[in-house]
Amino acid sequence: MNSASEIFSKLQHIDRRYIFLFIGMAAFLPLIFPLGLPLGVTPSSEDLFNAVENLEEGSVVMLTFDYYPSTLPETEPMSYAALRHLFRKNIRVITLTTIPLGALSVMEGVVKNVAREYNKEYGTDYVNLGYKYGYVAVMLGMGRKISDIFPRDNYDNKLEDLPLMQEVKNYDDVDFLFVVSDNATVDYWVSLVNAQFGLPMGAGVTAVMAPKCYSFLQTGQMVGLLGGMKGAAEYEKLTQNQGRATRGMDPQSIIHLLIIAFIILGNIGYFVSKR
């Protein structure tokens, strides 16, 4: 057996702990020493950015936090990037969630942090409707009258006492819907709100959901789509406001390359050992 064959034979039987070590280093080191790897922007992310960018100052956008805490690495950066973009353009925002477990506290944290960054006033620049059980009834009901579904906001204020909600009665007074979701609620926003009320919308979803949601782009029911952490990083790049998604792309890219390298070496070693 020649030296090359011996090397590949040893690689076939490498201790898996070394593989775990390499993966760990690939995940950890780029966070300490960022590489700044090039990041392309997909058309669907750029389309969503342009849709928001073209909204006039003072427009009203409904931003949903329809995700569980388990998907925060993918979804929360989208919410931060979207809200920063909206507030930077002086667009008024109505937030809500259809998820009962954890999403409400996540939403409160994101909204308060970004509102503080941009010195936004509650009730005038943004309103947090909170959570209401029964998302189908909620989505349809807001098309008739939002205050019938949410008589009070997340902080027990009457909607009629909030300047923003005095102007916004239903979807007719909303200019755009931005859904951030890790579950099937995005389908209902499309079928119940976009299809029936004609409200333009876009979405940010987890990577595993993105392939299914591309069909909504083809039908024109969504103007744009963010897929997974990469989609969030692309939106951060477009808004020139780098955050956790951008920082997370270096480790993710290095890990993917390392896994591909292991697969290639493993296959080469297998065929060499059979010769």
pLDDT digits (tens, 9 = 90+) for 70-102: 999 899 999 999 999 999 999 999 999 999 887
pTM above 0.75, yes or no: yes
Tokens of 131: 């959570």
SS (H, E, C) 54-107: CCCCCCEEEEEEECCHHHHHHHHHHHHHHHHHHHHCCCEEEEEECCCCCHHHHH
How far apart (Å, rounded) are the C-alpha atoms in residues 66 and 216?
18
Residue-level pLDDT at 193: 97
Instruction: Pull the structure tokens for residue 133.
Output: 């059980």
Determine the Cα–Cα distance for residues 110 and 157; give it in Å rounded to an integer.
Answer: 20
Q: If residue 191 lies in a helix (H) or strand (E), which one and from where to where?
A: none
pLDDT confidence of residue 121 = 97
The token duo for 183 is 């579950």
Largest CA distance in the chain: 83
State how far the Cα of 247 lies from the Cα of 254, in Å rounded to an integer. 12
In Å, how far are 66, 101, 106, 206, 225 from 70, measured between CA atoms?
12, 10, 11, 11, 21
Q: How do the domains of the chain map onto residue ranges?
A: 43-251
**Domain 43-251 CATH superfamily:** HUPs (3.40.50.620)
| 232 vs 78: CA distance, rounded Å | 5
Task: Give the rounded distance of the alpha carbon of 175 from its chain centre.
Answer: 20
Beta-ladder partners of 227? 205
Helices (H), the chain: 3-12, 16-32, 43-53, 72-88, 103-117, 135-144, 146-149, 163-167, 185-188, 195-197, 210-218, 228-238, 244-273
Q: How many Å apart are CA 136 and CA 190, to the nearest integer?
A: 12
Q: Which residues of the chain have pLDDT under 50?
A: none
**Helix, coil or strand: residue 33:** coil
Q: How deeply is 28 buried, as exposed, middle or buried, from its count of CB atoms within 10 A (0-12, 13-18, 19+)?
A: exposed
Alpha-carbon distance of 258 to 237, in angstroms, equals: 25
For 79-116, give one letter per residue: b (16+ CB within 10 A) or e: bbbbbbbbbebebbbbbbbbbeeebbebbbebbeebbe
Amino acid at 28: F
